[in-house]
Amino acid sequence: MSDLELIKAALAEDLAGGVDITSQATIAADATATADFIARTDGVIAGINIAHAVLAEVGLTDVTLSKKDGDQVKAGDLLITVRGNTRAILLAERTALNFFGHLSGIATLTSKWVAEVSGTKCQVRDTRKTTPGMRTIEKYAVRMGGGTNHRMNLSDAALIKDNHIAAAGGVVAAFAKVRAAYPEAEIEIEVDTLEQLKDVLAQKPDLVLLDNMSPEQCAEAATLVNGAFKLEASGGISITNARAYAQSGVDYIAIGALTHSAPVFDIGLDLRAE
């Protein structure tokens, strides 16, 4: 779903085929105002252009962006100023804030994980644990926070997981089937033990996912692989032990929480009636 389709759907959901009865009753049709989007806390913003697009969708064209996506902001910082019809501003308010706050929350949380692994070669990577219909913009927010993206969809690359392995009859059999069917595809394979890792060494995967292994086991895996392919750790990783995983020698840590558990970043809209 495109950004514009998402915006249209969100606005339509808010109106549900009717009108904003509160604004209709309390605000004259030709009333104008100036409104400021203000950061209420510190963090990294993402989605400012989507908020801008929401304003444009309701006919507001006098918009000033004071920050850009990826900026580190402080509580009290001015993010956007919009001038125009008061009813239109209030119609756009919640939809704009929903997108802006959600995406900035993802960027802010990602930036905290990235800070934890700074100075190592390890990159913080997202997963497909995204809100249906919002994967593209949520993964964009991860990048704005300094993280990197895993595959966008199931056709981007192969990721052979435990259920594929069980269905195919083992690690080696699963890998061979994917390689035969899609010889040009990037292949990542999940292993639960170091013994399984040894089994896939000869297969020359592009990447191996170390599932629910300790930092010590990940370090053993890194020694075993010795740079032959990249390693990704997933499962059991928290922000408090992220650095231990990063220092183990893995290339990535996969963090589903970046998109499925990021707190909303607090942004407010302050209206200045004219």
Torsion of CA 241, 246, 252, 253, to 10 degrees: 0
The reply to whether 115-260 shares the fold of 3-106+263-273 is: no
The one catalytic residue in 40, 68, 121, 161 is 161
DSSP helix/strand/coil, 242: helix
Q: How many whole angstroms separate alpha carbon 165 and alpha carbon 154?
A: 16
Q: Is the pLDDT of residue 200 over 80?
A: yes
Superfamily of domain 3-106+263-273: Quinolinate phosphoribosyl transferase, N-terminal domain (3.90.1170.20)
> What confidence score (pLDDT) does residue 1 get?
76
DSSP per position, 120-165: SS-EEE--S---TT-HHHHHHHHHHTT-B---SSTTTSEEE-HHHH
From the options 3.40.50.720, 3.90.1150.10, 3.40.50.970, 3.20.20.70, give the CATH code of 115-260. Answer: 3.20.20.70
Q: What is the pLDDT of residues 208-222, one digit of tens each?
A: 999 999 999 999 999
Active site residue 68: no
Q: What is the pLDDT of residues 114-168, one digit of tens each?
A: 999 999 999 999 999 999 999 999 999 999 999 999 999 999 999 999 999 999 9
> What confidence score (pLDDT) does residue 80 get?
98
With a pLDDT cut of 90, the percent of the chain lying above it is 95
The one catalytic residue in 8, 83, 128, 129 is 129
Domain ranges of the chain: 3-106+263-273, 115-260
Q: Is the pLDDT of residue 5 over 70?
A: yes
- Segment 226-237 shows an average pLDDT of 96
Q: Is the pLDDT of residue 274 over 70?
A: no
Active site residue 121: no
Local confidence band at 171 (pLDDT 50, 70, 90 cut-offs): confident
Active site residue 190: yes
Q: What is the pLDDT of residues 76-105, one digit of tens each?
A: 999 999 999 999 999 999 999 999 999 999
> Which bin fits 133, alpha (ψ -120 to 50), beta or left (φ > 0)?
left
Q: Whole-prediction pTM value?
A: 0.96
The one catalytic residue in 93, 126, 188, 211 is 211
The one catalytic residue in 67, 94, 179, 230 is 94
> What confidence score (pLDDT) does residue 273 get?
63
Active site residue 94: yes
With a pLDDT cut of 70, the percent of the chain lying above it is 99
The one catalytic residue in 190, 232, 243, 251 is 190
